[in-house]
Amino acid sequence: MGDFRTTEGESMPEMRQERRRRIWKLTRRMLLALVVVALAGHFIPVRRYAVARGYVTTREYAEVRPPVTGIVGRILVSSGEMVEAGQVLVELNSAEEEATLAETRARVSRLASERERRQAEMSIDLERRGVELQEKKRQHADELRIAELELANAESLLALTQELCAKGLKSRREEEDVHLRRELCKVRLEALQRKDFTVYDELLNRDRDMYASERKALDEELAALEESVRRVEARIELRKIRAPISGQVVRYEFVVGELLQPSYVIYEIFGGEEQVLKLRVDEKHAARIAPGQEYRCRLASYDNGLMPVYFRGKVSYLRDVIQNDGSNAYRMVYCTFDPGKYPIQPGTTAEARIYYATSGFWEFLFNIDP
């Protein structure tokens, strides 16, 4: 059989070898390209980020909630107003507490008057009885001295009568009369000497103790009523919702007559001039975020689609707890924020990318943490 040749005069084996060389050359180029792409994908840096949403606020910020459950009585401050720390924003209805306070204060006034009256009466009574007792003791002392003098005189007279009777100058009957008089003086003196004022002192001291106990009871009752007044005043004060910080307020929707619970946020207060960005980071990214990391964000008020305005800053600090709003678990992150030339109102919403690491393209593509 003869050789097979092409029209150009080449044999079939030569064509096959040429085809193989071309295929091998192409394969090597493809492999080289794959190696180059693989190496490039490994060494090309890609910034990894977590998407977070939040809003612009101020360094001094406070949420205002009612301290107790109550019905709105008066709304004193509206959105956009500037307030001072301690200023009353809302008054909850306190008609019941006001009535209780008025009644308790009236009881305090009545009891205070009663205490003063009783103290005056007791003081006057004790003073009068003390004076009477001292007067009785003085009179007794005078009577005792008179009785002693009378007994001394009677004894002297008896001795003289007995001497005269012995000389026959006085009769026996006169001597007996003088002797009887001496005995009467002696009996009267002994009776006066036996008279004891201790019982009067004991009665007076007993009444002093009784009056002291009565005063103590009145003081304790009055102190209890005054404490009741303070407690009612404290309850009324709790129904005055005050601003915890100075700043500009944003009022939520609520009206007079509405029932408010302590869980309701009724105002936000933005204090100071320094602004910060407050972001919610999903729980799955929370462990990757740390202070010092950079972010880039867009604000809703400056997101026009074609030429968005970007704001940049760094993470300042994170809250130590994972929070839950009922549908999502998240961690609060606070970042520096520079509005630049743009007037940014507190409360403006934002969407940010927080850059937490740099990795190769393949790690990024397959979501492999560096």
Whether residue 169 has pLDDT greater than 90: no
C-beta of residue 61 within 8 angstroms of C-beta of residue 334: no
C-beta of residue 286 within 8 angstroms of C-beta of residue 331: yes
Element (H, E) at 58: strand 45-64
- Could you give the CA distance from residue 189 to residue 144 in angstroms, rounded to a whole number? 7
Whether residue 198 has pLDDT greater than 70: no
- Could you give the CA distance from residue 137 to residue 132 in angstroms, rounded to a whole number? 9
Q: Which of 81-95, 171-185, 314-328 has the lowest mean pLDDT?
A: 171-185
Long-range pairs, 324-329, Cβ under 8 A, ≥24 = 328/280, 328/282, 328/283, 329/282, 329/283
Please say whether the dihedral angle defined by the alpha carbons of residues 208, 214, 220 and 226, taken in this order, is positive or negative. Answer: negative
- Per-residue pLDDT band for 1 (boundaries 50, 70, 90) equals very low
Span 63-81, average pLDDT: 91
Residue with the larger pLDDT of the pair 92 and 177: 92
Residue 277's contacts (CB-CB under 8 Å, 6 or more residues apart) are 54, 55, 56, 57, 295, 297, 311, 313, 334, 335, 336, 337, 350, 352
Question: Could you tell me the end-to-end alpha-carbon distance of the chain, in angstroms, rounded to an integer?
Answer: 68
Residue with the larger pLDDT of the pair 105 and 16: 105
Whether residue 310 has pLDDT greater than 50: yes
Whether residue 287 has pLDDT greater than 50: yes
Q: ∠ at Cα 165 (159, 167), nearest 5°?
A: 110
pLDDT the model gives residue 273: 79
- Per-residue pLDDT band for 259 (boundaries 50, 70, 90) equals very high
What number of other Cβ atoms are within 10 A of residue 77's Cβ?
Answer: 19
Long-range pairs, 211-216, Cβ under 8 A, ≥24 = 211/122, 211/125, 211/126, 214/118, 214/122, 215/115, 215/118, 215/119, 215/122
Please say whether the dihedral angle defined by the alpha carbons of residues 176, 182, 188 and 193, taken in this order, is positive or negative. Answer: negative
Write the CA distances from 59 to 110, 250, 274, integer angstroms.
Answer: 53, 16, 6
> DSSP assignment, residue 169?
S
Residue 204's contacts (CB-CB under 8 Å, 6 or more residues apart) are 126, 129, 130, 133
Helices of type H across the chain: 12-43, 95-166, 172-194, 198-238, 283-286, 361-365
- Per-residue pLDDT band for 153 (boundaries 50, 70, 90) equals confident
Please tell me the pTM assigned to this model: 0.53
Q: Which residue carries 């064509």 as its tokens?
A: 15
Whether residue 131 has pLDDT greater than 50: yes
- Could you give the CA distance from residue 234 to residue 313 in angstroms, rounded to a whole number? 45
pLDDT the model gives residue 4: 46
Residue 278 phi, psi (nearest 5) = -110, 120
% of residues, the chain, pLDDT over 70: 85
Query: Token pair of 275, please?
Result: 């602004």
- Per-residue pLDDT band for 185 (boundaries 50, 70, 90) equals confident
Residue 176's contacts (CB-CB under 8 Å, 6 or more residues apart) are none
- Per-residue pLDDT band for 324 (boundaries 50, 70, 90) equals confident
Query: Token pair of 55, please?
Result: 């809003």
Closest CA to 43 of 363, 369, 293, 356: 363
Residue 182's contacts (CB-CB under 8 Å, 6 or more residues apart) are 151, 154, 155, 157, 158
Whether residue 40 has pLDDT greater than 60: no
Chain centroid to Cα 25, Å, comes to 82
Span 348-363, average pLDDT: 78
